[in-house]
Amino acid sequence: GMLLFILLISCAVAYALHKYFNKYTTPEDTLRSAIDNGEIVPFYQPIVNGRTGTLRGVEVLARWKHPTAGFISPASFIPIAEKSGLIVQLTQSLMAQVIANMNAITSKLPEGFHLGINFSATHINSPAFLDDCMKYRDSFQCKDLTHVIEVTEREPLNVDEQLITKLNILHDSGFAIALDDFGTGYSGLSYLNDLQIDYIKIDQSFVGRVNENAESTILLDCVIDLASRLSLSIVAEGVETLAQVEYLNRHNITFLQGYYFYKPVSFTDLVKILLSRPREKVVIE
């Protein structure tokens, strides 16, 4: 009798505790368990040579494969990851999965394939960053990849001596440094002074205005001009229409990314894309 009573009481206490903690589960806690459970997975969006249609590479984009809600967009969880510092674990987990994915298809990767991954300021400023990148690069069986570090300006980057040194070390060891969402963030122009940037990614808000009228492309034209004067290579993001492709071709923007060509796809679908194409050599211009 007594034993049953104690058992009942402990069940009640356990239930109450469970309720209590679930009620007070923060978005960070939920995200942390999602990372631990492998629910944050890499999707891949191809980047094409708009002139030849060949694949230049892919950008890794995080997706939350939620057990009940389906795929959740990074716009809703990357900010939480950045604020809480979980972005470091999140990116490390993505990197491990990208390595495993790419090592499973080494023989199918086009020569000189570009593999871009997004890094937040919080991660770049963390002590783990340099080591994470070097170990990452050394883990690929394919040694002919160009690893691209996409630096976003969503959070202000603290461009101090340390950050400049780190990014320059990576640049000198063969990484390509790309400024993401160029023109939308905090101080893209001054980054160009301080950092060894290989290319800029023109934000889709500029590309999206191509259809409108002559004035709507003034900013885009200025960014293109700036990049060419600085001998920076350009990737145009958010390319959705043939008119945009033609405009960018006319302005010598070779590398294009957007729904017009491909949406971000799962690894399984990336493999299908690679298999459906002749194994091509990436032409760097």
* Secondary element (H or E) of residue 164: helix 161-172
Binding to Mg ion by residue 180, rule CB under 5 A? Answer: yes
In the bound state with Mg ion, the residue whose beta carbon lies nearer, of 204 and 217, is 204
CB of 108 to ligand C2E, least distance (A): 23
- For the chain, the C-alpha Rg in angstroms (whole number) is 22
Whole-angstrom distance, CA of residue 151 vs CA of residue 169: 15
Per-position x/- string for 40-79, each x denoting binding to Mg ion as judged by CB under 5 A, each - no binding: ----------------------------------------
Which residues share a beta bridge with 101? Answer: none
Whole-angstrom distance, CA of residue 120 vs CA of residue 38: 20
Residue 266 exposed, middle or buried by CB count within 10 Å (0-12, 13-18, 19+): middle
Q: Which residue in 148, 181, 210, 282 binds Mg ion (CB under 5 A)?
A: 181
Whole-angstrom distance, CA of residue 100 vs CA of residue 140: 8
In the bound state with ligand C2E, the residue whose beta carbon lies nearer, of 84 and 204, is 204
3-state secondary structure of 114: strand
Are 115 and 98 in contact, with CB atoms under 8 Å apart? Answer: yes
Binding to ligand C2E by residue 94, rule CB under 6 A? Answer: yes
Per-position x/- string for 220-259, each x denoting binding to Mg ion as judged by CB under 5 A, each - no binding: -----------------x----------------------
Whole-angstrom distance, CA of residue 138 vs CA of residue 174: 12
In the bound state with Mg ion, the residue whose beta carbon lies nearer, of 123 and 201, is 201
In the bound state with ligand C2E, the residue whose beta carbon lies nearer, of 82 and 195, is 82
Per-position x/- string for 119-158, each x denoting binding to ligand C2E as judged by CB under 6 A, each - no binding: xx-----------------------------x-x------
Q: Output the six-digit token pair for 80.
A: 């939480």
Whole-angstrom distance, CA of residue 220 vs CA of residue 218: 5
Binding to ligand C2E by residue 238, rule CB under 6 A? Answer: yes
SS3 helix, strand, coil % of the chain, rounded to 5?
45, 20, 35
In the bound state with ligand C2E, the residue whose beta carbon lies nearer, of 14 and 49, is 49
Binding to ligand C2E by residue 78, rule CB under 6 A? Answer: yes
Binding to Mg ion by residue 150, rule CB under 5 A? Answer: yes
CB of 30 to ligand C2E, least distance (A): 18
Q: Which residue in 4, 75, 214, 242 binds ligand C2E (CB under 6 A)?
A: 75
DSSP code per residue over 2-50: HHHHHHHHHHHHHHHHHHHHHHT--HHHHHHHHHHTT-EEEEEEEEEET
CB of 118 to Mg ion, least distance (A): 4
Q: Which residue in 48, 57, 64, 91 binds ligand C2E (CB under 6 A)?
A: 91
The site for Mg ion (CB under 5 A) is made up of: 118, 150, 180-181, 201, 237
The site for ligand C2E (CB under 6 A) is made up of: 45, 61-62, 73-75, 78, 87, 91, 94, 118-120, 150, 152, 180-181, 204, 237-240, 257-259, 264
